[in-house]
Amino acid sequence: MAETVLVTGGTGYIAGWCLAGLLQQGYQVRTSLRSPDKEAGVRAALSGLGIDHHRLTFFIADLTRDEGWDAAMIGCDYVLHVASPLGLDAPQHLDDMVAPARDGTLRILRAATGAGVRRVVMTSAATVATPPLQSPDSLSDETVWFDPAETNVTPYRHAKRQAERAAWDFMARHEGPTTLTTVLPGAVFGPIMSRDTLGSVQVIARLLQGRAKGNPRLGFEVVDVRDLADLHIRAMTAPAAAGQRLLAVGRFMWMAEISQVLRDRLGDAAHKVPTRAIPDWLLRLLARFDPLLRGLTPNLGRAHRHSAEKARLLLGWQARPAEDTLIDCATGLIHHKAL
């Protein structure tokens, strides 16, 4: 009999590709939704990829409430906790972000351990394993945790760190069979499944729309959403992944390099992608009026890289070429008319 996996937040960008990968590999799959109205959209997105979703069932549960989670966990072998309210449109105040991130994670772990789930794989973020953003260029691994007393830390970083730290602290007190693995991705790009699941690809959409008037001195470690889903699934079953943090990052690229790839490979479709540079002083000025930019300014001119060597050695995981990820992302946005 096929093993059963629960993926939290089935409408999410990463969650959707986890659902796709699990269904393709023959698992019985469950996912949580905050509203039953979203089920049709998730099924339609999977159908658009040609994926048979008859082994997918839905449970109504919200990270901010206890109701529904115990029922969703009964009989589950694994849980992929990828649900996160911390996207580009998330509130920019710490108190509004920490509760759904930290408390939601603890809610998932209590239900999973109570049901005897074998392993929970949780999505964290590479920025949690990053030294102070205003320090010199760096190369970090999974042993790093940023200092919560660091200045200029965005609510997003705080919330992600508190959620992951709370998860490890909870598991340190747990004596049952359930194990935990955390996955720390860089900037998640790649194809979209529908216009409703844009996630972090809005960065690429802004370039294609011409909303970005230039390229600031900012960089991202590109990771493909399909590769990220693959790492979650590998970490779910591999004995060696139990109790591990795993960075999921690919090539570091400056915004100017990303824009160049889009222009070189998309032709006329990228005619609005900026060619000029934005000086640091101008970005800081614009950031006064844009919370998204405000959170990025400490990164100006700095290349904080991470090593994915552990994921490669333990699980045989490898990120695909970043250029392919960017083009698949852009063509997906164009195809779904998400610009």
CA distance 1 to 34: 29
CA distance 2 to 77: 10
**Tell me, what DSSP letter sits at residue 191?**
-
**7: part of which helix (H) or strand (E)?**
strand 4-7
Asked about 337 being catalytic, the answer comes back as no
Catalytic residue among 160, 213, 272, 337: 160
Residue of 95, 53, 89 lying closest to 206 (CA atoms): 89
CA distance 192 to 17: 9
Question: What interhelical angle do 13-24 and 225-237 show, nearest 10?
Answer: 60
CA distance 18 to 232: 8
Is residue 56 helix, strand or coil?
strand
Phi, psi of 261 (to 5 degrees): -60, -45
For residue 188, the cross-strand partners are: 223
For residue 277, the cross-strand partners are: 215
Own/partner long-range contacts of 287-296 (Cβ < 8 Å, ≥24 apart): 291/92, 292/88, 294/92, 294/154, 295/92, 295/154, 295/156, 296/216, 296/218
**10 Å Cβ neighbour count for 143?**
8
Half-sphere exposure of residue 241: CA atoms within 13 angstroms, side-chain side: 24
Strands (E), 52-152: 56-60, 78-81, 119-123, 138-140
Residues designated catalytic = 160
